[in-house]
Amino acid sequence: MVKLDVQSKVEADPEYIVTLSDIHDWESRYGRVPDGCLFVVDTGQCRFWPNRTTYMGLDENGDRHFPSLAPDAATFLTSERSPYGIGLDGPSLDHYPELTVHKILAAASLYTTENLACLSRVPAKGATAVILPMKILGASGAPVRVVATLP
């Protein structure tokens, strides 16, 4: 499990989109994203839970405003790196209604995990993640419990 921390960028821009540059910056500091890892993004968004309005960034029109992952960052992770899955502590990996990032990750058969909790406790690298999905026959997705063991 590796963690990209963008909390300070989200503080400045609540709709921050994690860029390919952010991933390159992480790699210059910690090394190449390891094959088979769970790559998670710590936006700090989980601090707003359980206030749904704040967590989803809902405005007066019901539009959502929260951090997400850029399509080129998702493409890089699926074509140039080999994580087992990608996740973050916010409500979605990308913005609605396009769901471009979801499509990129699904085409690469990667796990996608959203609404992760307590990522601030996880180091940038060295933790081990175990993903425990609920088996639902015929479903395109399912709730999971993600457990991290720290180094």
**What confidence score (pLDDT) does residue 107 get?**
97
pLDDT at 98: 84
Domains in the chain, number: 1
Specify if 25 maps to a domain.
yes
Percent of the chain with pLDDT over 90: 93
Domain annotation covers residue 150: no
CB 106 within 8 A of CB 26: no
Query: Which residues form the domain of 105?
Result: 2-125
Q: What is the pLDDT of residue 95?
A: 77
The CATH number for 34's domain is 3.50.30.50
pLDDT confidence band for 61 (50 / 70 / 90): very high
Residue 10: alpha-carbon gap to chain centroid: 13
pTM over 0.85: yes
Position 135 in a domain: no
pLDDT at 141: 86
Helices (H), 16-139: 20-30, 52-56, 71-79, 100-107
Residue 45: the pLDDT is 95
- Domain-embedded: residue 6: yes
